[in-house]
């Protein structure tokens, strides 16, 4: 049947209507999807902000717990105090906050490796290694690293963070060594803010870093190595082996930790009166690095709101007898 012009016009009109309808449907669907994404972004942003404030609240709770412990303590810091409770979880409306606190005097402060020889050490033997390097090297050897790797790590970390451009020892590395790399850079020549900065040190490979990070830390602005004998746990026995410069074996250190009083030693004199350390021949300088208190703590916290997780890592410093301030704060956490 032959269609009349009027029928053909109706067909074209119908196709036009269908085309317009399809375009409008597509536009409406696009607007709907954009609106949904905008709402989702708004919700995510709101949850992120809420989680960030909850994480900061967890940090404040950690400060209060530390403050209370310091006020209740008799001058000692030990693992029976509230701050040492592992992975505390607080339920909150719509989610939860999680936090833990670690004594930063129960790990090796790598910033101490910036130290050179003291005047007394120079007079005694100007060719010897600084005490802190000996301690660090002994710790690494007990952790399973061979003599070369232990010496190399100690000397290169020292060169990376000390203020001069002179290499130390046989394995040191300074600006010239870093500038010769495929992607050149220079030694920091300043203290580290986080122990993850060790990965920038020439020779510190990822496998070595995975071993080191279990027992080291970086206290910003502090270049002393002090160990709280009340808070070192058996998993970090190598730390004390190093601090004793290898005079005590790992087994002897583990026994010392296992027999530690429940609330730690009340004074450092009580610690040195233990039979296990009676025959240690450390000099007074080395012994002064052993204490029973602490002023630096690391807080690791996280807040979860619905499916949004916010992570936080802070270093808390004691100010005065019991007040605490946030020395540094990192969002997202570090490895």
Model pTM score: 0.85
- b/e 18-38 (16+ beta carbons within 10 angstroms → b): eeeeeeeeeeeeeeeeeeeee
User: pLDDT tens per residue, the chain (335 residues)?
Assistant: 555 555 556 667 777 777 777 777 777 777 666 766 766 676 667 888 888 889 999 999 999 999 999 999 888 999 999 999 988 888 888 889 999 999 999 999 999 999 987 777 777 787 788 999 999 999 999 999 999 999 999 999 999 999 888 888 888 899 899 999 999 999 999 999 999 999 999 999 999 999 999 999 999 999 999 999 999 999 999 999 999 999 999 999 999 999 999 999 999 999 999 999 998 999 999 999 999 999 999 999 999 988 888 999 999 999 887 899 999 999 875 55
CA 139 to chain centre: 19
CA distance 75 to 331: 32
* CATH 3.30.1300.30 domain residues, the chain: 1-104+294-335
Residue 263 in contact with residue 78, Cβ under 8 Å? yes
Q: Spell out the CATH class of 110-215+238-261+276-281.
A: mainly alpha
- Determine which helix (DSSP H) or strand (DSSP E) holds 133, and give its type and residue range: helix 131-142
CA gap 16, 18 in Å, rounded: 5
Residue 216's nearest CA partner among 238, 234, 231 is 238
Alpha-carbon span 277 to 64, nearest angstrom? 36
Per DSSP, the three-state class of 100 is: strand
Alpha-carbon span 176 to 12, nearest angstrom: 79
Burial readout 59-77 (b: 16 or more C-beta within 10 A, e: otherwise): bebbbebbbebbeebeebb
Q: 123: buried, middle or exposed (CB in 10 Å: 19+, 13-18, 0-12)?
A: exposed
Q: Where in the chain is the domain with CATH 1.10.40.60?
A: 110-215+238-261+276-281
Rounded distance between C-alpha atoms, residue 78 and residue 81, angstroms? 6
Q: Architecture of domain 1-104+294-335 in CATH?
A: 2-Layer Sandwich (3.30)
pLDDT of residue 334: 52
8 Å CB contact between 76 and 63: no
Give 58's contacts (C-beta < 8 A, 6+ positions apart).
90, 97, 98, 99, 299, 301, 302, 303, 312
Query: What pLDDT sits at residue 1?
Result: 52
Report how far residue 291's alpha carbon sits from residue 288's, in angstroms, rounded to the nearest whole number: 7
Reduce the DSSP state of residue 119 to 3 states and report it. Answer: helix
What's the pLDDT score for residue 101? 96
The whole-angstrom separation of Cα 120 and Cα 175 is: 29
């Amino acid at each position: 049947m032959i269609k009349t012009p009027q029928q053909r016009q109706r067909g074209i009109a119908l196709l036009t209507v269908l085309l317009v309808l399809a375009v409008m449907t597509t536009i409406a669907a696009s607007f709907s999807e954009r609106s949904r994404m905008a709402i989702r972004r708004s919700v995510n942003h709101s949850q992120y902000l809420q989680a960030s404030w909850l994480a900061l609240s967890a940090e404040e709770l950690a400060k209060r717990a530390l403050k209370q412990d310091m006020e209740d303590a008799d001058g000692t810091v030990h693992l029976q105090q509230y701050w040492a409770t592992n992975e505390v979880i607080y339920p909150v409306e719509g989610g939860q906050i999680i936090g833990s606190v670690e004594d930063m005097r129960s790990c090796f402060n790598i910033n101490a490796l910036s130290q050179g020889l003291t005047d007394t050490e120079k007079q005694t033997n100007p060719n010897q290694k600084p005490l802190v390097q000996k301690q660090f090297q002994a710790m690494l050897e007990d952790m399973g690293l061979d003599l070369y790797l232990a010496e190399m790590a100690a000397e290169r970390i020292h060169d990376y963070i000390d203020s001069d451009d002179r290499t130390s020892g046989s394995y040191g590395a300074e600006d010239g060594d870093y500038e010769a790399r495929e992607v050149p850079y220079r030694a920091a020549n300043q203290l580290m803010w986080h122990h993850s900065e060790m990965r920038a040190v020439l020779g510190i490979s990822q496998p070595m870093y995975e071993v080191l990070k279990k027992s080291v830390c970086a206290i910003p602005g502090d270049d002393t190595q002090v160990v709280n004998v009340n808070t070192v746990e058996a998993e970090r026995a190598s730390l004390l082996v190093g601090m004793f410069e290898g005079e005590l074996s790992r087994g002897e250190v583990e026994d010392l930790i296992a027999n530690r009083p429940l609330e730690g030693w009340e004074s450092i004199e009580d610690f040195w009166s233990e039979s296990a350390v009676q025959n240690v021949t450390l000099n007074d300088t080395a012994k002064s690095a052993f204490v029973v208190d602490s002023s630096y703590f690391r807080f690791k916290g996280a807040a979860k709101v619905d499916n949004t997780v916010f992570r936080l890592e802070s270093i808390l410093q004691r100010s005065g007898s019991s007040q605490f301030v946030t020395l540094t704060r990192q969002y997202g956490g570090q490895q």
